[in-house]
Amino acid sequence: MHKRYNFIERRLVEVADEPALVSVYVNPDESERKYLVDMLELDEHTLHSALDADELPRLEFEPEHMALIVKRPCSYTPADNLSFRVSSAGAFLFKERLVIVMPEEVPLFDSAQLIRTHTPLSLLMQVLQRLIIHFREHLKVISLISDELQDRLRTSMENRYLFNMFTLTKSLVYYVNAISANEAVLDKLKLSAARIGLSTEEIELLEDTAIDNSQCYKQAETYSSVLSSLMDARASVVANNLNVVMKTLTMVTIAIMVPSLVVSIFSMNVPIPMQAHPWGFWIVLGLAFFSGLGFVAYWRKRHW
């Protein structure tokens, strides 16, 4: 899918025909990839990197354009089962044009922020800031889901809630790595500000974006550490509860075995005391009852 945008009265407006100052390619087909490689002279490997979820972020300078690969959060759907995934996106900045390539469509432009945007370079800065906002929105959702799962775990012993917590922990690890990798790219962008031709306003915007990304990274790292600690604590609680249950079952078993032993002794098919006594049956029952009662008293005395 190919979308075209132009700046009209300092606003980004979608247009139908070329020429377009901003082009967005979502999962480009073979003909679109051929156009990007042959006509715009994009490096084929770099173009593939923009569509590869496992590709590391980086900044490269070509003779006619700058290539920027960043990590971004994927759009979440209920079918993901609490798995928040990370993908890649590529931005190719020419002198008078910006080309963005992504494997799937995600919101890139914030209309409230685009009022100040009127060049492809300043738009690129806004897109980077929008990616950070997207990460923050997902982190907020993960935090809410984590709180809900903790409440469920307090009243339920079902394994599926634990599996959900494991999935969230794994997602946070990927988020922390992705945000950290983006931070390295932003640092390289700041060092290359003169080469790119950033204005004073754009440099300030890039610095603000780097600060926001650093704060987002710390937030993701905190959530990841807290969730990992909660998982460890939950595992300890489950193990302790299991020990308590096993201890209780062992005590109940022993408490039943002691009276059973008394009754078994008097049930032997050999001559035993009181076998002709008229109250023998009730005496044996009494001995069994008081033996079990004595064991319970000993158990409580030892605080088992």
CATH classification of the domain holding 107:
3.30.460.20
3-state helix, strand, coil in the chain (%, to 5): 60, 15, 25
pLDDT tens by residue, 71-91: 988 887 777 777 888 888 898
Domain boundary among 240, 257, 289: 240
Regarding whether 247 and 226 lie in a shared domain, the answer is no
pLDDT surpasses 60 at 203: yes
The answer to whether residues 109 and 128 touch, using CB atoms and an 8 Å cutoff, is: no
pLDDT score of 241: 72
Are residues 199 and 139 part of one domain? yes
**Overall average pLDDT of the 2-16 stretch:** 75
Q: Do 252 and 229 share a structural domain? A: no
Mean pLDDT of 136-164: 80
**What is the pTM (predicted TM-score) of this model?**
0.74
Shared domain for 118 and 139, answered yes or no, is: yes
Measured between alpha carbons, how far is 17 from 162 in angstroms, rounded to an integer?
52
Angle CA(87)–CA(93)–CA(96) in degrees, nearest 5? 145
Q: Are residues 71 and 219 in the same domain?
A: yes
User: Is the same domain home to 206 and 60?
Assistant: yes
Structural domain total, the chain: 2
Mean of pLDDT values over 198-205: 81
What is the SS3 assignment for 26?
strand
103 with 124, same domain?
yes
Sign of CA dihedral 42, 45, 49, 55: negative
Q: How far apart are CA 163 and CA 171, in angstroms?
A: 12
261 and 236 in a common domain: no
Scan for tokens 């974006």, then name that residue: 209
For the ranges 103-107, 141-145, 241-245, the one whose mean pLDDT is highest? 141-145
Range of the domain at 268: 242-301
Q: What is the pLDDT of residue 115?
A: 47
Residue 94 sits in the same domain as residue 233: yes
Decide the pairing of beta strands 98-102 and 22-26: parallel
Structure tokens at 35: 């156009």
Strand order in the sheet with 22-26: 11-15, 2-8, 22-26, 98-102, 86-93, 66-73, 58-61
17 with 86, same domain: the answer is yes
pLDDT classification of 163: cutoffs 50, 70, 90: confident
pLDDT band of residue 280 (cuts 50, 70, 90) is low
Around Cβ 77, how many Cβ atoms within 10 Å?
Answer: 7
Output the pLDDT for position 164: 81
What are the E-state strand segments in the chain? 2-8, 11-15, 22-26, 58-61, 66-73, 86-93, 98-102
